[in-house]
């Protein structure tokens, strides 16, 4: 299970790096979430090991919703909400991810297991372990 979690967190770190690159572009009237949706739509969905799929990135206003799914046992002993918190921690390890939040972006990680509808995560306007 730890291997699956590590692979998953590393994948979202890569996504975070893509977001940082997109945030460095000049403002074009789009929200930070809309910019990220455009960037990530090119690389998602992305299949990972163990049946885990980084499914989509969708902007709803200023919130970027990142959805991930996997087989019925992929979250192991953690609930979907707990997994969302761990994923956010991995995502926030990307260098300079604060730029996305400074530009008004917010992010939510939705997690689904075994083909069930995704469980909505908490909307974040900063990285939990960093000052806002």
Whole-angstrom Cα distance, residue 14 to residue 132? 22
Residue ranges per domain, the chain?
2-113
pLDDT in tens, 83-129: 777 878 777 877 778 888 888 999 998 988 898 999 898 899 988 76
Upstream peptide bond of 96 is cis (omega within 30 degrees of 0): no
Please provide the CATH number assigned to the domain covering 2-113: 3.30.300.250
Q: Closest Cα to residue 74, out of 50, 108, 54?
A: 50
Q: Bigger pLDDT: 30 or 60?
A: 60
- The residue ranges of DSSP E strands in the chain, in sequence order, are 46-47, 53-60, 63-70, 106-113
**Mean pLDDT across the chain, nearest whole number?**
78
CA distance 22 to 39: 7
pTM above 0.95, yes or no: no
Query: C-alpha 75: how far from its chain's center?
Result: 16
pLDDT number for residue 1: 46
């Amino acid at each position: 299970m730890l291997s699956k979690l590590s692979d998953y967190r590393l994948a979202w770190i890569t996504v975070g790096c893509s977001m940082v690159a997109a945030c460095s572009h000049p403002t074009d009237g789009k929200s930070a979430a809309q910019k990220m949706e455009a960037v990530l739509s090119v690389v998602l969905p992305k299949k990972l090991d163990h049946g885990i799929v980084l499914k989509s990135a969708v902007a709803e206003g200023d919130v970027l919703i990142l959805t991930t799914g996997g087989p019925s046992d992929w979250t192991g002993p953690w609930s979907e909400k707990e997994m969302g918190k761990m994923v956010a921690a991995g995502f926030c390890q990307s260098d300079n991810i604060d730029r996305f939040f400074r530009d008004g972006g917010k992010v939510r990680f939705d997690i689904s297991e075994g083909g069930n509808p995704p469980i909505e995560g908490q909307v974040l306007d900063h990285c939990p372990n960093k000052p806002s």
